[in-house]
Amino acid sequence: GETMKANIVILATGGTIAGAAATGTQAGYSSGQVGVQALMEAVPQLQELANIRGEQVANVGSQDMDDSIWLQLAQRTNSLLAQDDVDGVVITHGTDTIEETAYFLNLVVDSNKPVVMTAAMRPATALSADGPLNIFNAVAVAADPEAAGRGVLVVINDDIHGARGMTKTSTTDVQTFVSAERGLMGATLYGDNRWFRHPYRTHTRDSTFSVDDLGVLPRVDVIYISAGVSPDLVDAAVANGAKGIVTAGVGNGNMTGAAVAAVARAVKQGVVVVRSTRVTSGTVGRKVEIDDDALGTVASGELNPAQSRVLLKLVLTKTRDPAQVQGYFDKY
Ligand SMILES: NC(=O)C[C@H](N)C(=O)O
């Protein structure tokens, strides 16, 4: 008999994938113009892959993604996946902050069913728009039973990324996302999926973070370190109510002596400081050039500054003890 098609719900949040320009060949455009219905109608072939329906959660450029949309998106994803007649969720999003939203959902979605995010670099109106095939591939991955239990996935430009550790590397190239340290979760070609690995860290169902307990998330600021960085940026973050700071350090999470002194002041006031790096690959380890035990800081491991900020916001709802925070960074 005919195999049953999966039931997939598409949650749209905006981004360039829903962007529009006056012509097909211009660089300027606006994100978040096209609704979820139009996104689905642009790809009639989706019907061959799954039974699909769409919901509009937001319609913003992902530069404007915030805690409240994250919480709303996580709650809606959880309640859909709890339904017997939903097999997976696809989320359309902007590329600017998809690595943050994907990792947030990876930590708070309470289900093993597939959650697949997708995006585009060219607006829906562009010559050779990349959105339609990305949506096709995302639905094909969400409908694949092999996608279950791999945490939140990001499908773009024929690659299947795990949420953790993927990052945008080009401002304009269609091939912009890279999973530098641990590689791709898989690849797909017109919906023909190949699987390479499973996630290496705790995610979704095993996570200790429940979106229902979160409420207002604490303020965490990222401070970019450069030669001669003004150390009073750290003091300003503390004075303005930051409960956590992530440093986008040089090299292996290093910073100027003056910045180290400012971090020591912040830690003394109970602010948790995570050392990440502005370098695009490699691991920030404890006690390489900075003594984390003496300074009371946390090393980010492989997490970049943006993803470190996401994890720290969640961890600060549980603890402010640097040793315990380090434990979360080693596990998630
Ligand atoms: N390519 C994109 O999606 C960029 C856009 N600014 C966004 O993140 O919404």
Predicted model pTM: 0.97
**CA-to-CA distance for 296 and 219, rounded, in angstroms?**
19
Domains of the chain listed by start with CATH number: 6-206 (3.40.50.1170), 219-331 (3.40.50.40)
Whether residue 280 lies in the annotated active site: no
pLDDT band of residue 1 (cuts 50, 70, 90) is very low
SS (H, E, C) 142-161: HCCHHHCCCCCEEEECCEEE
Whether residue 95 lies in the annotated active site: yes
CB of residue 118 inside a 6 A radius of ligand 1: no
pLDDT tens-place string over residues 46-105: 999 999 999 999 999 999 999 999 999 999 999 999 999 999 999 999 999 999 999 999
**CA-to-CA distance for 38 and 42, rounded, in angstroms?**
6
Q: Which atom of ligand 1 is nearest to the CA of 15?
A: 9
pLDDT tens-place string over residues 165-212: 999 999 999 999 999 999 999 999 999 999 999 999 999 988 899 998
pLDDT tens-place string over residues 5-43: 999 999 999 999 999 999 999 999 999 999 999 999 999
pLDDT tens-place string over residues 284-325: 999 999 999 999 999 999 999 999 999 999 999 999 999 999
ipTM for this prediction: 0.98
**CA-to-CA distance for 121 and 131, rounded, in angstroms?**
8
Nearest CA to ligand 1 atom 6: 61
Is 62 annotated in some ligand binding site?
A: yes
pLDDT tens-place string over residues 114-157: 999 999 999 999 999 999 999 999 999 999 999 999 999 999 99
